[in-house]
Amino acid sequence: MASSHLPNYLRTNRMRLGLSQDEVAYLLGTESGTRVSRYEQFARDPGLRTALAYEAIFQRPIRELFAGIYDEVEREVASRAKRLVLNTDHMRPGERTARKREVLTKIAGTKVKKPQHP
């Protein structure tokens, strides 16, 4: 199922605060609003420091500001976690394997059948 979120909500939040692109650029520590425009138009993804700066400026969590990107990353991680859960079927049963399976299942966001061991 496709995500219903935009890749980011930077423009929405900037407009909510009544800031110009140049003002946000200044707060981000960049020279002009051109880079801000590229982020807002989904032409470029910001680096971690810039994303954290956006969080500080807009007082919103990164996962909310970049909801569409977050959804995509979350699905990718969940898919990889499901594959790792299946790998635990071949591990020696024990407390550590059970904990690993529990964590990976939670990340995967699904119920995965427990392996049957004799």
Task: Collect all residues with Cβ–Cβ distance below 8 Å to 61 and sequence separation of at least 6.
Answer: 55
Residues 16 and 60 in one domain: yes
Residue 53 confidence (pLDDT): 98
pLDDT band at 51 (very low <50, low <70, confident <90, very high): very high
Rounded CA separation 85/111 (Å): 10
Global pTM value: 0.79
Task: Round to whole Å and give the CA distance between 72 and 30.
Answer: 27
Verify that 56 and 92 share a domain, yes or no: no
Q: Are residues 88 and 54 in the same domain?
A: no
37 — phi, psi (to 5°)? -60, -45
The predicted pLDDT at position 116 comes to: 46
Total count of domains within the chain: 2
Domain that holds residue 78: 71-108
pLDDT attached to residue 111? 54
79 and 57 in a common domain: no
Helix (H, G, I), strand (E, B) or coil at 19: coil
In this structure, are 17 and 47 located in the same domain? yes
Q: Render pLDDT for 58-117 as a digit per residue (tens, 0 to 9).
A: 999 999 999 999 999 999 999 999 999 988 878 788 888 889 999 999 999 865 555 444
Structure token digits, residue 103: 């964590």
* CATH code of the domain containing 19: 1.10.260.40
